[in-house]
Structure 1
Amino acid sequence: MASPIHRIGFQSHRVMIRKNEREGEAEEEGKRVVLTAPLALEGGLAAEHRPPNFLQQLLGLFCNVRPGSDLSRFQLPSLFNMPKSQLQCYGEMVYCYNEDYLCKCAQGQSKLNRFISVVAWSISTTRPAIFGQAPYNPILGETHHVSRGSLNVLLEQVSHHPPVTALHATDTNLNIELNWCHSVVPRFHGTSVEAAIKGKRQLKLLTFGENYEMDSPNLMIKLIPPTGADWIGNVRIRCKDSELEADLCYYKSHRFLGFGGSSRFVKGTISHSNTSKTIYQIEGEWDRVVELKDVHSGEVMVLYDAKKAISQLNTPVLGVPQKVWNTESTKVWGELSQAILSKDWGKASEIKRRIEEHERKKQRERLSNGKVWIPKHFSVPHSMAGNNNEWECSPLEPLVPPAPIILPLQTMGM
């Protein structure tokens, strides 16, 4: 019979083995999660991941596509993918920033002050796109879950055809809630591709009982010189509780025959919704400075400064590997992202083909069994299914829990 000392030694050895196993499992989980720099005004993904010059190949992809065609089922080769999912791109609009415009929304002393801050925050969600590079089309049920301080953000792909993404974010310190439901409809127009983003964004300032609804601009990708990817179109921001609304127009202007540089403009107004009386005029460049002018006094102030808001953004880090869901974007696409970052295009193509074929197989199985996909974190009314313009998604839980992926707070001074 073993002595008490031997039994204690044996138990300690087993505890050490289990600890080493857990550490090994955590290390393995960490390897499967690939976190990449966010899309930023300066630096970020555009600086770290510079794609080759493949304009000719890009044009070749669309040579047999008819103008007006819906590209939502079009599959891009891995060469044209940036190493992140569309869910991550949406999430970064909310949790990646320097100057905290979202916090200003909750701290406004009057309805008008808060509305102005919401307009500035809406502009801050506009991030530069990379021409020739598209994020992965999220698979059905894919999620992205990140925390920044007291702000917790959760996204889920609730539909694949058409592609629909739901977002829920809560901040208990600021008493803020965000609900988004986006459906992207990309169409080919011969010399360009326009991705129309349908659906509404809701920002709720719960302390004041105010609900703000807003649209998103569309992404226009020009395939002939001068090539580029830019945000265009109209955005309306409304708050019935404060009886205020803003109308913004995003557009791009080239300096000389389409060459020699260009400016990314946004202009618009803030007005009383019941009288349509204009209070402020908005004008500027959303990737530089946007100004706000009081139409009565003529006073001009800075509404939004892109350099302060979205330049040199931090990259999320993995906090607790064991708590990362298998549906997490950075895990689902981790192996593919690593291959793209390593520029191993043969391996990247094989990994992407394997993921897409696996999803097609699961879809065929659901159809043959008569099963309907049910999202895990959001409810989607059946009456909305299949209607691109009317998708609505409601979170199943009132609060988003803290995430295993964390965005470090900014350390740079502004």
Structure 2
Amino acid sequence: MVSQGVERDHPPPPAPPAQPEKVLLTQPLSLDGGLAAEHQSPNIVQRLISLFKNVRPGTDLTHFQLPALFNMPKSQLQCYGETVYCVAEDMLRRCNKGKTSLERFTSVVAWSISTTRPPIFGLAPFNPVLGETHHVSKGTFNVLLEQVSHHPPVAALHATDAEQEVELLWWQELVPRFTGTGIETQIQGKREVKLRSFGESYEMDAPSLVIKFLPVPSTEWGGNVSILCRETGLEADLCYYRSHLFLGFGSSARAVKGKIFHSKTLMTIYEIYGRWDRQVMLKDVHSGKVTVLYDAKECIFGLKTPTVRDPHAVSTTESAAVWAEVNRAILSRDWDGAGELKRAVEDRARQLAAERVATGMMWIPRFFHLERTKEGSWHCWPKHPAVPPAPIVVPS
């Protein structure tokens, strides 16, 4: 592997604790509305006017930042983290309870589906600034994320549960492309679930975020997901899709289908079908028996907003601190103020980057090692074997 050129020298010193009034958390995205119900954004006409006001001749669109009118009051790091710590039912603990490798594998497939959350059309989370972190605990499950690169945007996640002997490793890069009728953002990288008590690791990827402008405006998840356990030879292929009946109308949204099979023999064991926002079914191809693999209402309905247990221990790099004032302005519908505060956060990040260039200081992530391979992909791994308890917690 080849190390990224700018990631050498000495790491930045730990950030000082954040002030209590500088921390603001918002509801997670959930099946029953959550943040979408809490945050009422302006109408699309008002947002488009704001967009065109911010685009002037000569504007570099490759580095263009959306106006605050297009932002939900939440960082992308928080959206990533919420998919693993904001759950009504602990899917990871179910994975560890499987008596056989096949039971554990199907539970991991269900967990993978549970990380799919309802997006909000026309709104996007903030792009995390370089070095931004997000640290949350739910019981003995501790989750830590860091924005390890800004151009290109790469985020890393490490989560551990010593009681359950479960570990998550996750890094990803967002790669958007225009499709002609919308924008498809591929989530490149790797997700890995480790069940240490069984010596099993499960590697998987993620569906793409698909924003459609025609024929009907929508934001959904689409594409293929593969899940593999090398130790047992079990594998799953899933397809997220929206099946249109006629000209985009009367469609079956949020559908998922797939299968679980043996890697060597390619023999199918189970067929998977349903809707990830309702129920996903598991059909035994030999007996014909059908059971519920995943129930969205049991998992991503009525999710609780994290709270600050120890305000003085929250780092200033924490997402809930970095964007707190911007979030407060958005929730109070002070769009001009939100825009100014957002620019201040982004200008400060650019200033720090310019200072590093001027002084020759090289950027190094605080909690992760980051390398770029010869093939151009990214590889991240944590600097510490376990994630400590966080000052921000999910209520039990």
Q: Which amino acid aligns with 2:390?
A: A
CA distance in 2, matches of 1:386, 1:208: 32
CA distance in 2, matches of 1:83, 1:249: 30
Unaligned runs of 5+ in 2: 1-16
Aligned to 2:25: 35
Aligned to 2:3: none
The reply on whether 1:258 has 2:245 as its aligned counterpart is: no
Aligned to 2:257: 267
Aligned to 1:118: 108
Unaligned runs of 5+ in 1: 1-25, 410-414
Aligned to 1:81: 71
Aligned partner (choices 350, 354, 359) of residue 369 of structure 1 = 359
The reply on whether 1:324 has 2:324 as its aligned counterpart is: no
The reply on whether 1:408 has 2:390 as its aligned counterpart is: no
Q: Which amino acid aligns with 2:232?
A: S
The reply on whether 1:302 has 2:299 as its aligned counterpart is: no
CA RMSD in angstroms, aligned pairs only: 2.2
CA contact (8 A) 2:47 2:69 kept: no
CA distance in 1, matches of 2:184, 2:53: 16
Q: Which moved more, 1:50-59 or 1:208-217?
A: 50-59
Aligned partner (choices 304, 312, 326) of residue 302 of structure 2 = 312
Cα shift readout 1:299-340 (whole Å, capped 9, x = no counterpart): 000000001110110000110001001100000000000000
**Deviation of the 1:394 alpha carbon:** 0.5
Q: Which moved more, 1:71-80 or 1:312-321?
A: 71-80
**Deviation of the 1:113 alpha carbon:** 0.3
Aligned to 1:4: none
**Deviation of the 1:344 alpha carbon:** 0.1
The reply on whether 1:291 has 2:281 as its aligned counterpart is: yes
Q: Which amino acid aligns with 2:389?
A: P
CA distance in 2, matches of 1:31, 1:60: 30
The reply on whether 1:248 has 2:235 as its aligned counterpart is: no
Q: RCO (CA 8 Å, sep 6+): is it higher in 1 or 2? A: 2
Q: Which amino acid aligns with 1:53?
A: N
Distance change >3 Å, CA 343–CA 255, structure 1 → 2: farther
Q: Which moved more, 1:169-178 or 1:355-364?
A: 355-364
Distance change >3 Å, CA 59–CA 339, structure 1 → 2: closer
Aligned to 1:96: 86
If the length of structure 2 is used for normalisation, what is the TM-score?
A: 0.90
Q: Which amino acid aligns with 1:116?
A: T
CA distance in 1, matches of 2:62, 2:243: 28
Aligned to 1:45: 35
CA contact (8 A) 1:380 1:393 kept: yes
Aligned to 1:398: 385
Structure (1 or 2) with the greater helix fraction: 1
Q: Which amino acid aligns with 1:406?
A: V
Cα shift readout 1:228-263 (whole Å, capped 9, x = no counterpart): 110000000000001100000000124543235642
The reply on whether 1:106 has 2:96 as its aligned counterpart is: yes
**Deviation of the 1:119 alpha carbon:** 0.1
CA distance in 2, matches of 1:72, 1:163: 13
Q: Which amino acid aligns with 1:90?
A: Y
The reply on whether 1:215 has 2:205 as its aligned counterpart is: yes
CA distance in 2, matches of 1:98, 1:135: 23
Count of residues in Structure 1 that have an aligned counterpart in Structure 2:
376
What secondary structure does 2:96 align onto? Answer: helix
Q: Which amino acid aligns with 1:180?
A: W
Q: Which amino acid aligns with 2:160?
A: T
Aligned partner (choices 152, 155, 161) of residue 145 of structure 2 = 155
CA distance in 2, matches of 1:300, 1:99: 22
CA distance in 2, matches of 1:354, 1:385: 36
Q: Which amino acid aligns with 1:391?
A: W
Q: Which amino acid aligns with 1:211?
A: S
CA contact (8 A) 1:154 1:167 kept: yes
Q: Which moved more, 1:113-122 or 1:185-194?
A: 185-194
CA contact (8 A) 2:54 2:67 kept: no
Q: Which runs of 4+ in 1 moved over 6 A?
A: 62-65
CA distance in 2, matches of 1:136, 1:191: 24
Percentage of matched positions with identical amino acids: 59
Cα shift readout 1:74-130 (whole Å, capped 9, x = no counterpart): 310000000000000000000001122111111110000000000000000000000
Q: Which amino acid aligns with 2:341?
A: I
CA distance in 1, matches of 2:124, 2:168: 25
Q: Which amino acid aligns with 2:324?
A: G
Q: Which amino acid aligns with 1:223?
A: F
Matches for 1:6-21 after TM superposition, within 5 Å: none
CA contact (8 A) 2:171 2:190 kept: yes
Rg (Cα) greater in structure: 1
Cα shift readout 1:195-239 (whole Å, capped 9, x = no counterpart): 110001000000000010000000011124411110000000000
CA distance in 2, matches of 1:282, 1:63: 47
CA distance in 1, matches of 2:223, 2:251: 20
CA distance in 1, matches of 2:364, 2:31: 37
The reply on whether 1:333 has 2:361 as its aligned counterpart is: no
CA distance in 1, matches of 2:25, 2:207: 27
Distance change >3 Å, CA 57–CA 348, structure 1 → 2: closer
